[in-house]
Amino acid sequence: MIDLTSDPYELFAAWMAKAQDSELNDPNAMTLATTTPQGHPSARIVLLKSWDRQGFVFYTNLESRKSAEIRANPHVALLFHWKTRKRQIRIEGTATQVSDAEADAYFETRPRLSRIGAWASDQSRPLPDRKRLEQRLESAIAQYADAPVPRPPHWSGWLVAPSAIEFWEDRDFRLHDRAVFTRAADEWTATRLYP
């Protein structure tokens, strides 16, 4: 049973560690939900790249649809679902852009071709055909053939500072175990929820 006296960050760390042991692919995959300026929901899978008590960080093209939606409305939701562990974690919070220094440091850890790909892709914009992307990639490879690949100014990360974190664990007969931790200022309050 989820311990309501737990620290939500320590509980997240424990659940993530278990997921890393059991999930075959991308245990750090999470659904990111945003809204359009008209209030329509929008969701996609992104990868959690770092986290601490400040929040949860993912990286993307700042000219992408998700980034445009975050700039219009920074209130977002994240969802981790680990099917083999029969667990979910829902996070609601506010997204802010990470510092250039943090984005630079993470960008340097990416494989070289991924760094070059960040220059070649106009993420979320119409692509006439795959050949156009391949040509842009080849051009970027040539441009940086003998040079370090800098982080594009249109590529960075978003930090989601949580206001609520819900832990959900499957139980027989759909009588699941659910607990939500809600933050007010720097204090967390835990509440058990009906399944």
What amino acid positions are annotated as catalytic residues? 174
Q: Calculate the alpha carbon distances from 56 to 82, 112, 126, 170, 189 in Å.
A: 17, 24, 29, 24, 19
Q: Scanning the structure block, which residue is given the tokens 């391949």?
A: 134
Helices (H) and strands (E) in the chain, counts: 5, 9
Three-class secondary structure of residue 179 per DSSP: strand
**CB neighbour list of residue 180: distance below 8 Å, 6 or more residues apart:** 164, 165, 166, 167, 190, 191, 193
Give CA–CA dist 117/138, Å, rounded: 10
Q: What are phi and psi of 122, to 5 degrees?
A: -95, 70
Task: Give strand ranges (E) for the chain.
Answer: 29-35, 41-47, 50-52, 55-61, 75-82, 87-97, 155-169, 177-184, 187-193
